[in-house]
Amino acid sequence: MRKEASGPVNLNAAAAQVNAVLTDWRTARIDSRVKAALQFLEKLTLAPREVSPADVAAARAAGITESALREVIYVCFLLSTMDRLADAFDFPVPEPLALQRAANIAVLIGYRGLSV
């Protein structure tokens, strides 16, 4: 679902879009496929036992490909696992500047660039 960057990334615009999504993804001005993915993720995170083939069909009908939906599920799983481990081991929360630097790197190279 991620478009490859064709030029320099405007980090201010990216930050504004992220803030809009974090404030309320339902009203944020984002691609309808991203909204469908976020709707799926919300249910997968908050009510995983209620996720059904109908939810997958709704995501697919919104234009999310099978491979994109699989990636969405993988990212959800990984972030949920990391969150639980961080809570269990009482990991310190990085300072805002360190978080911003990591976010900038992720925006510039994408999650694939961060994987091994």
Which string of DSSP letters, residue by residue, matches 29-55? ---HHHHHHHHHHHHHHH-GGG--HHH
DSSP state of 62: T
Closest CA relative to residue 65, chosen from 41, 44, 29, 37: 37
Kindly list the distances between the CA atom of residue 110 and the CA atoms of 2, 14, 16, 84, in Å, as whole numbers in the listed order: 8, 13, 17, 23
Class of domain 11-114: mainly alpha
Calpha distance 102→8 (Å, rounded): 17
On the question of pLDDT at 107 being above 60, the answer is yes
Tokens 């978080």 appear where?
99
- Between 100 and 28, residue with greater pLDDT: 28
Q: What is the pLDDT of residue 32?
A: 93
Span 9-52, pLDDT tens digits: 566 777 788 888 989 999 999 999 999 999 999 999 999 999 99
